[in-house]
Every structure is written in C-alpha cells, then in structure tokens.
Structure 1
Amino acid sequence: MAVAVVLILLVVASVLFHVFSPWWQTPIASNWGSIDSALDVTLWICAIVFIAINLFIALAIIRYRHRKGHRADYEPENAALEKRLTLWTGIGIAGMLAPGLVAWNEYVTVPKEAAVIEATGQQWSWSFRLPGNDGVLGTADIHHIGVDNPFGINPNDPYGQDDVLVEASEIYLPVGRPVKVLLRSKDVLHDFYVPHFRAKMDLVPGILTYFWVTPTRTGTFDILCAELCGVGHHAMRGTVVVADRKSYDNWLGEQLTFAQINAELAAARAGDEVRLARADTPRVPGSGGE
C-alpha cells in the first residue's frame, strides 16, 4: 500500500510542478512556432501516458494486493490486450513523430530569398562570415586555415575577397528577413543553439550543416553550444542581435572584408620590414647623434 501511495503522490507532484513551474520555454523570437507545437504535442502525450501508467500500477497494487483467501490467476497470453496496447502505442508514437517531421521538413527547406551567413565553431568561441556585395560566400577549406586566414577562405577564389569577416562572438541579423545559417567546425563536435529562435543544429567536423530562421522581433539573444565539446564548453557563448534594417546596415558597414584584412596585414608587414631595415643599416659617424 505504501508503494501505491508514493506513486499517486508522484503523479500529483509532477502535475503540480509542471503547472506552477517557472522554467518554461523562453519567449519565441522567430518563425518556428511549429517546433513549439511539436514539443507541446510530445509533452501532452508523454504526460497522459505517465499519469495513466503510474495510476494503473497504484490501482493494481491496491486491488490485487495479497489478501487471505484470494488466489491469483495465471494468464500467460491475452491477444486482445496485446492488440489494444499495440494500437494505442502506435497512435501515441505517430502522434509524437508527425508534428516533428512536419517541422523538420520546414526547418531544412530554405526559402529562395533567404540571406546567407556562416557560423564557425571552435574550442571555445564563435566567429561569423557574411557574403559581400556579390552576395556569394567564397569557398573555404580547412587546409587554408592559418594565423592570417582563420576562416580558411580560398585566397584564389574571387568570390571570397569581399566576404565580411566577424571574429567576435556577436552577429547582427535583420528583423523579418529569412536567413540561412551555414555551420562549420574547426575541431570537435559543437552545436549552435539560440533558445529564443528554437533553432539548433550540430556542427560536425568535415561536414557543412545548416538551418534557416526568420527573426520576428528585435533584441539581443544568447548563442549557446548545446554539445559537450571540452573543458571550456560552458564558456562557449555568443550573441545574436536582431536589429532593424538601418541599424543592421550601419553595423555591417563597420565590418572588414577578407581583402581589407589582407591589405592591412600586408601594410603592417611592409612597415615592419622597413623598420627592420632601418635598424640593420649601419650608422655613418657624425650623423644621427654620432
């Protein structure tokens, strides 16, 4: 009997916890209401099954407990019961899968008018790349990654010269415009996750993954890594700022392109070489303070 009482209290406490819990989903800031709907359907189906099974076990413990003068019947098979259980289990599984499959189909079907950005993950930071005026991202490969080319952009690809590079962990997105997010990893498995967008996807080394999203309200939202990626996993955070078109264009105009960064690096090297040459030049007696 004590076990039955504990099970009943467990069901009641679980229901009350979900009704009064403050830990619910963050307010949605994207077009992915279908993902919330799929999660709600899964929650309701699992809740009904959880309550039904535990109350049935409690009832069975109470009704069929050992009592003097009562004997148990042995029934190794019950075809009718098995058919009913199979039917309702199949309906429950289909009910959970169907909304998720519909949402997934939308999630990977990118609108033709979507803009493109690329997010790169590495232990333990985020960086971003956007296409320049040509609207096309240049090709990139891990073999091109170096101190002066952390994004691995192909230096011989003309489409990559005007790519906008953002090495900080903050990216701006325009509100109300669909965006395709390409995902790369430099080292291990990561996961790009923005809770307010309901959007997440693994970054797999050697594979280019993607999803798309339309931000629906302005604000600043956290980017998290949702895949354990090492001792600094907890600190792998970033920020996505959803801004109006003017603010977005102003931010974009402040960022440097791949060609501009290369030009600055070349100028810096040239300046260093001039300074080294001057330092190595022997001084003529009587000049420069001699």
Structure 2
Amino acid sequence: MRVAIAIVALVLGSIAFHLLSPWWQTPLASNWQSIDSALHITLLICAFAFIFLNLFLAVALIRFRHRQGSRAHFSPENPSLEKHLTFWTAVGIVGMLAPGLAAWAKFVDVPPDAAVVEAIGQQWQWTFRYPGPDGVLGTAGVGYMTPDNPFGVNPLDPFGRDDVLIEGNELHLPLGKPVKMVLRSKDVLHDFYVPQFRARMDLVPGIVTYFWLKPTRTGKYEILCAELCGVGHHAMRGTVIVEQQKDFDAWLARQANFTQIMAQTSPEGVAAMFAKANLCTRPAAWGIR
C-alpha cells in the first residue's frame, strides 16, 4: 500500500512540477513553430504513457496485494493483450516520429530566395561570413588558411573577393527574410544553437552542414555551442541581432570585405595566401557554392 501511495504521489508531483515550473521554452523568434508542435506532441504522448502506466501499477498493487489464503492465477501467454500492447505502442511511436519527420522535411528544404550566411566554429569562438554584392560566397577550405587568412577564403576565387568577414562573435540577421546558415568547423564538433530559433545543427570537421530559418522577432539572442567541444565549451557563446532590413544593410556596409583585409595585410602575408592557394590541388572540399 505504501508503494502504491508513493507512486501516486510521484505522478501528481510530476504533473504539478510540469505545470508550475518556471523553466520552459523561450518565446519563439523564428518560423519553426513545427518544431515546437513536434515537441509538444511528444510530451503529451509521453505524459499519457507515464500517467497511465504508473496509475495502473498503483491500482494493481492495491487490488492484487497479498491476502491470506489467496493464490495468484498463472497466465504465461495472453495473445490478445500482446496484440493490443503492440498496436498501441506502435501508435505512440508513430505519433512521436511523424511530426518530427514532417518538420525535418521542411528543415532541409531551403527556399530559393534565401540569403546565405556562413557560421564558422572553432575552439572556442564564432566567426561569420556574408556574401558581398554578388550574393555568392567564395570557396573556402583549411588548405587556404594562413595567419592572415583565418577564414580560409580562396584568394584565387573572384566570388570570394567581396565576401564580408566578421571576426567577432556578433551575427546580424534581417527580420522576416529566409536565411540559409552554412556551417563549418575548423577543429572539432560544434553545434550552432539559438534557443529562440529552435533550429540547430552540428558543425562537422571536413564537411558543410546547413539549415535555414526566417527570423520573426527583432531582438538580441544568445548563440550557444550545444556540442561538448573541449574545456572552453561553456564560454563558446555569441550574439545574434535580428533587426529591420535598413538597419541590417547599414551595419553590413560598415564591415570589411576580403579585398579590404588583403589590402591591409603585409606583402609577405598576401604572398603566403596565394602560395597556399596555388599549392591546393583541387577546390575546397567544403563546397560552399
């Protein structure tokens, strides 16, 4: 009896904690309501299973508790029960998977009019790259990296000459415009995550990953690395500022592009960039374009 009471108390306490907890989702600031919906459906299905199974266990403990002179009925097989359990378990699993798969299908289907922004992760900071007036990011790769070219932009690629390079941890995005986030890592696994955007994706060394979003609310949000990437993982944070298009354009116009940075680099540094580029036997494997 005491165990049954403890189980009921656990169920009621869990429900109360969920309903009264101050730790809940941040306000949504992107188009990914479908990710929230998938999470809510999963929580509802799991909550139903948790409440039903635990209350059933409590009732069974009370109803079938030990009584003097009574014996349990031995039933090694129950095909009907097994069929019902299999069916309803399958329904629950499909109910949890289907909304997530529907959201994922949209997650990787980038709109044709989406702008492109590249986020680069390294221990333990973020840097960003925007295409210039041509709207195309130049090729980039670890083979092109030098002390004066930490982004690894290919100096022989004309599409990269006007790329805007942001060495700080601050990312700016225009409100209401779809953006394809191209992600690459210089060293280990990282994960680009803004809780208010819901969308997130790993940065995998050697390959390019991506996702897209459309910011729907202006404001300043924190960028987190959601993949354990070393002793400084906790400090790998940045800021994304969602602003009106005119403010975004004004900010972008003040940033330096790759050509301007090369102009400020010593002749030896520029020569090292081109020497690295000429040594590369093939285009960068990251496939930015």
- Confirm or deny a common fold (TM above 0.5): yes
The separation in 2 between residues aligned to 1:76 and 1:105, in whole angstroms, is 44
How does 1:16-35 map onto structure 2 within 5 Å?
16-35=16-35
> 1:244 is matched by which residue type in structure 2?
Q
Partner of 1:43: 43
Partner of 1:239: 239
SS of structure 2 residue aligned to 1:173: strand
Alpha-carbon shift at residue 65 of structure 1 (Å): 1.3
Partner of 1:147: 147
Alpha-carbon shift at residue 67 of structure 1 (Å): 1.0
How does 1:86-101 map onto structure 2 within 5 Å?
86-101=86-101
Partner of 2:114: 114
1:60-94 residue CA offsets vs partner (Å, 9 max, x unmatched) = 11111111011011111110000000000000000
Alpha-carbon shift at residue 155 of structure 1 (Å): 1.1
1:152-191 residue CA offsets vs partner (Å, 9 max, x unmatched) = 1111111111100001000110000000000001111110
Partner of 1:158: 158
Alpha-carbon shift at residue 217 of structure 1 (Å): 1.2
How does 1:118-129 map onto structure 2 within 5 Å?
118-129=118-129
Aligned length in residues: 270
Against the structure 1 CA distance between its residues 152 and 268, is the aligned structure 2 distance closer, same or farther, given a 3 Å change threshold? closer
The separation in 2 between residues aligned to 1:269 and 1:3, in whole angstroms, is 73
Where do 5+ consecutive residues of structure 2 fail to align? 271-289
Alpha-carbon shift at residue 266 of structure 1 (Å): 3.0
> 1:191 is matched by which residue type in structure 2?
D
SS of structure 2 residue aligned to 1:59: helix
Calculate percent identity across the aligned residue pairs: 64
> 1:147 is matched by which residue type in structure 2?
P
Alpha-carbon shift at residue 258 of structure 1 (Å): 0.7
> 1:215 is matched by which residue type in structure 2?
P
RMSD (Å) for aligned C-alpha atoms: 1.3
Runs of 4+ in 1 over 4 A off after TM superposition: 267-270
Contact 2:190–2:228 (Cα < 8 Å) also in 1: yes
SS of structure 1 residue aligned to 2:242: strand
Where do 5+ consecutive residues of structure 1 fail to align? 271-290
Matched, 1:74 2:81: no
Structure with higher RCO (Cα < 8 A, 6+ apart): 2
The separation in 2 between residues aligned to 1:186 and 1:267, in whole angstroms, is 25
> 2:71 is matched by which residue type in structure 1?
R
